[in-house]
């Protein structure tokens, strides 16, 4: 999972207090991710060719609730990429520009 990662406690420092703090961090992060879906997303590298839809696997294990273009190499603007479909496994994107491009897309 991308996003916020819990601190790792080295085995040499694992005490009862450290174990309790670790458990507390897990409960807190689980609640945070459940309430803010944007934090539990993945960054995808998407290559589009012409104006054919591109299907990519997102690996979230659920239907995404949104996506954001973070970067692209296209001469077109970020709004030229459109979602045509998505489900629990994949996301289908369509670029309206005819040129080949690569996109960085945050899917959450």
Q: Is 98 left (phi over 0), alpha (psi -120 to 50) or beta?
A: alpha
pLDDT at 26: 86
- Asked if residue 32 and residue 45 are part of one domain, the reply reads no
If one counts the domains in the chain, the total is: 2
Query: Among candidates 51, 47, 27, 23, which has minimal Cα distance to 101?
Result: 47
Query: Is the pLDDT assigned to residue 84 strictly greater than 90?
Result: yes
Could you give the 3-state DSSP secondary structure of residue 66?
A: coil
Percentage helix, strand, coil, to 5, in the chain?
25, 35, 40
- Asked if residue 60 and residue 102 are part of one domain, the reply reads yes
Q: Which domain holds residue 7?
A: 1-39
Query: Is the pLDDT assigned to residue 2 strictly greater than 80?
Result: no
pTM assigned to the model:
0.67
**What six digits make up the tokens of 50?**
């012409």
Query: Of 12 and 59, which is predicted with more confidence?
Result: 59
pLDDT at 78: 79
- Asked if residue 63 and residue 33 are part of one domain, the reply reads no
- Asked if residue 31 and residue 82 are part of one domain, the reply reads no
Compute the average pLDDT of residues 34-39: 77
Count CA atoms within 13 Å of residue 97 on its CB side: 17
pLDDT at 86: 96
């Amino acid at each position: 999972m991308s996003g916020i990662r819990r601190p790792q406690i080295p085995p040499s420092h694992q005490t009862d207090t450290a174990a309790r703090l670790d458990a507390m961090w897990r409960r807190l992060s689980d609640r945070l991710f459940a309430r803010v879906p944007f934090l539990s997303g993945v960054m995808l590298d998407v290559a589009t060719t012409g104006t054919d839809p591109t299907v990519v696997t997102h690996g979230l294990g659920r239907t995404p609730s949104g996506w954001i273009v973070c970067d692209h190499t296209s001469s077109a603007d970020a709004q030229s990429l459109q979602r045509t479909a998505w489900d629990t496994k994949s996301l289908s994107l369509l670029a309206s520009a005819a040129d080949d491009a690569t996109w960085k897309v945050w899917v959450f």
